[in-house]
A and B are shown apart, each in its own frame.
Chain A
Amino acid sequence: MLKSKNKLSFEGLEIVYGALAEGIDKAGEQNEALFLAKLVLLLAHEQGDTTVFQRCLETALTDMLG
């Protein structure tokens, strides 16, 4: 289970969820992966902690398709 001190509220999560969906659409299919990778680097830069980044990366790799 993912634990973190600065948790988003559910309302916050809903806002992020909608903004992410619209961001992907704005980037367009061709630039989708680039947009998401840039977004991750920016968030990691803002967040400033490599351990947290590593943990999120491992978590994101679980429960993948196939």
Chain B
Amino acid sequence: MRPAGKGSLESLYFNYPHFPPRLVSAQQEKAERHPVVIVGGGPIGLTAALSLAQYGVKSVLLEKKDTFNDGSRAICIARPSMHILERIGVVKPFLKKALGWQFGRSYFRNSEIFRLEMPHPPSEKFLPMYNLQQQYIESFLYDAVAANPLIDMRWQSDVTAINQSSDNVSLEVSSPLGNYKLDSDYILAADGARSPMRTKMGLRLRGENYEGQYVIADIRMNHDFPTERRAFFEPSGNPGGTVLIHKQPDNIWRVDYQLKPGESEEEALREENIRARVDAILRDLDHRGPWELEWWSVYSANTLCLDEYRHGRVIFIGDSAHIVPIFGVRGLNNGLADAHNIGWKLGFILTGEAGISLLDSYSPERRGATLDVFANAGKSTRFMTPPTRGWRLAREAALSLSLSHDFPRGLANPRQMQPYTYSVSPLTPYPHRDREFTTGPMCGAAAPNARMADGSFLLDHAGNGFTAILFVKDTPTAEWNKLHSKLNALHRRFKTVTIGIGTSEADTIYGADEGTVYLLRPDLHIAGRWTILKPNEIIHTLAVGLGRKLET
């Protein structure tokens, strides 16, 4: 919502473009069949289109609205998402505009009780977290989409019906310039939390709804404080409730505050009440100057997801598949990982580089990541919005003890996201090889970065397919060269990155000795690792990563 007298797109800092609908010939569409149609042009749909385009796969991107999101929703981009943005070639404007951060503070009744520090070793290229308004996220992704000839984005295009058969899926599309039917091989449903696609297919999210409600307000003010996540428990400015403060670019600040149990949502959302509550909170922050109200909304925590993310030729990505509480900042970040995960898999399948069974790994991997968020989110949500008298009292006791004692302070940490490990994925067939290592990233983990002798970063050298990282004394052995040729015959994008032992910090970070091999997936997760060369296992790992069965 926006202040009285303002239109829904009248922002203090962002100029909303208006995108006209495109004239589409129904006749021409009848003769055509698209490899992929993406429904929903938010950050997730845009990222999916760009991920597919990386592999030369065309897509049609349908968006119901005529512009970007009408308010800032997601604002935190985590490090693994920055790697995704880099891999799809759009990270530059993000680095220029977003505010990076690694620290946080939690307060109880205005005393600081917890200091959050997210690790940021010099081996990492990106900070653990970046804040950026969703409108900018969409606009930067859109600029890349508009410049990409493989992506046909159609604004003001609403899906009114869907029909699926075993070898085809079709959509009825309605736009101000006419209605038409689209045929395609695959549909990616990226149409958000209220997903009309989900409803049309008769699917339902399952899980838990939490009671506590939060108001989310964006304001503009000159306020001198570094970019950190601040959490206030029971501050004098919002008695009985929690307050979260985040800094965003353009002097915009996100103020989240918890409503009291039983408080009416309608009353809480009235402009004068928003202004009074924000005023009281800003007094706690020692902000005495003026401030302007930009946008506000209400939110309650849910942990909901689909039982299965793929239904035949329709694949759900982002909020259409899962809704997570805001406190772990996993909504946008998990959605981006969904889009990139399905992007490379479908990319390989549609270019004939991988077998169709590769798709079977999407749902277990990405739904697994959601369930992992739920496990953590449940804990942090019960702390952030205690559901019952018992949880409220336990929290009060823990917070009171936190004023003078260290031991309960960790409970007051709104857990930030950890990258997910695909350890039980079908694409990680030799997890027991982890036992041969004393350190380094496990099978399925996101590959850590490392600084090379020439100042570049290890992950910059990875290809857009599968990549082997080979640790050698001088040069690769003849046995490796032979294996490389076999792997390359199986997968034309296959690349070997050779690292000289003792030339960089990579050996330590990867726990590597001479002869150690890591196999990286296109999304920079580890498909397998070996201390000594096991050609058959490496070939098999690559084959399952390409959805192929090999005769042995």
Contact = CB atoms under 8 A, between A and B. Distances in A.
B379 A14 contact: yes
Number of chain B interface residues as a range: 20 to 34
B408 interface: yes
Contact of B411 (A13, A23, A32): A13
Contact of A1 (B382, B405, B411): B405
Contacts, number: 55
Contacts of A14: 379, 411
B394 interface: yes
B183 to A, nearest CB: 51
B391 A21 contact: yes
Mostly, the B contact residues are: helix
Interface residues on A, range: 20 to 34
A37 interface: no
B411 A24 contact: no
A17 B405 CA distance: 16
Contact of A13 (B389, B390, B395, B408): B408
Given A25-B388, A63-B401, A13 B407 contact: yes
Nearest to B399: A63
Given A21-B388, A25-B388, A63-B401, A2 B407 contact: yes
Interface SS of A by simple majority: helix
A61 B407 CA distance: 17
Given A17-B398, A63-B401, A24 B407 contact: no
Nearest to B397: A20
A10 B382 CA distance: 16
B404 A62 contact: yes
Contact of A21 (B393, B400, B408, B410): B393
Contacts of A21: 382, 386, 388, 390-391, 393-395
Contacts of B356: none
Contacts of A63: 400-401, 403-404
Contacts of A32: 389, 393
B406 interface: yes
Given A1-B405, A63-B404, A17 B411 contact: yes
A24 B405 CA distance: 23
A2 to B, nearest CB: 5
Contacts of A1: 404-406
Nearest to A26: B390
A29 interface: yes
B261 to A, nearest CB: 14
A25 B406 contact: no
A26 to B, nearest CB: 8
Interface in B197-246: none
A62 B391 CA distance: 21
Contacts of B390: 20-26
Given A13-B408, A13-B411, A20 B394 contact: yes
Contacts of A64: 400
Contacts of B410: 10, 13
A25 B21 CA distance: 56
A35 B393 CA distance: 13
A63 B399 CA distance: 10
A7 B408 CA distance: 12
Nearest to A35: B390
Contacts of B388: 21, 25
Contacts of B407: 2, 7-8, 13
Contacts of B389: 24-25, 29, 32
A7, A26, A63, A64 pick with most chain B CB within 10 angstroms:
A63
Nearest to B402: A63
A16 B406 CA distance: 16
Nearest to A27: B390
Contacts of A20: 390, 394, 397
16 contacts: A2-B407, A7-B407, A13-B407, A13-B408, A17-B411, A20-B394, A21-B390, A21-B393, A21-B395, A23-B390, A24-B389, A26-B390, A32-B393, A59-B405, A63-B401, A63-B403
- What are the 3 A-B residue pairs with the smallest beta carbon separation, nearest first? A24-B390, A25-B390, A21-B394
Interface of B: 379, 382, 386, 388-391, 393-395, 397-398, 400-401, 403-408, 410-411
Given A17-B394, A25-B388, 19 more contacts: A2-B405, A7-B407, A14-B379, A14-B411, A18-B394, A20-B397, A21-B382, A21-B386, A21-B388, A21-B393, A22-B390, A24-B390, A24-B394, A25-B391, A60-B401, A63-B400, A63-B403, A63-B404, A64-B400
